[in-house]
Amino acid sequence: MPERQGRLTGKVCLITGAGSGMGRVAAGLFADEGARVVAADRDRAAVERTVAGIEGGEALALTMDVTDDGAVRDAVATIEGRYGRLDVLYNNAGIFLDEDGSVVDIDGELWDRVQDVNLKGVFRCCKHAIPLMRRSGGGSIVNIASFVALVGCSVPQDAYTATKGAIIALTKSLAVQYGPDQIRANAICPGPIETPLLTELLRDPAKRALRLNRVPLGRLGRPEDIVHLALHLASDEASWTTGGVFVVDGGITSNYF
């Protein structure tokens, strides 16, 4: 029988924040589907564990902090030197700080820190990756936004929310600008996902119950719930899909009461 062709066979995929959570799951699934995965994270040990756990696929671990423009530039240069192309940019890296809150309560330092990772990190990765994607003949950008960009929240997290709304706007601009180059750009808006980041944030049972009470499907999301959609958007199955904003939230944004 002929060898199975994966949905990403032959594609080079850069995944940021690949040291844990959704990024780690994405690295494994993308490799299983035939991609040559470049797993990037500022935590060298964590991203090496991600790559070590990948079986039957090709993966490269890169230490890259998305707040460091030079590091992002060098990572893309490494990808071009090794593979000669880049087909998928998966902007997954992000932070969510427990001290985040209303604009009247947080300080400028916290605001700037969240913007630097969540929004400027996407800017830096796109800035350096898009020229290589153009030289590669096109590709797919998958940006992780959030459901909080679409609805208000009585328990605010305004620094985080502002970055995710901006990511949606940027995604649409990228889709229009680079569509003629066959570069697609789409955003995914996850609901609350059971990752180490959220598990720590919701270590208080009351906080956890408050979130779960808003989810019609009655559970937090799993990383796979998001990554399977990202896989579709990265693949040629989505070759006519760009500028989209996809909500995967267990129904939380549809819940009036």
Cα–Cα distance, 183 to 255 (Å, whole number): 34
Burial of 93-123, coded b for 16+ CB within 10 Å and e otherwise, reads bbbbbeebbeeeebeeebbebbbbbbbbbbb
Number of Cβ within a 10 Å radius of residue 190: 25
Catalytic residue among 83, 160, 178, 256: 160
CB within 8 Å of 154: residues ≥ 6 apart? none
Closest Cα partner for 127 from 83, 168, 82, 177?
177
Is 256 an annotated catalytic residue? no
Rg of the chain taking only CA atoms, in angstroms = 18
Closest Cα partner for 39 from 19, 21, 11, 25?
19
Which of helix, strand or coil describes residue 49? helix
Cα angle value 60/244/97 (rounded, 5°):
60
CB within 8 Å of 178: residues ≥ 6 apart? 130, 133, 134, 185
By 3-state DSSP, what share of the chain in percent is helix, strand and coil, each rounded to 5? 50, 15, 35
Instruction: Catalogue the active-site residues.
Output: 160
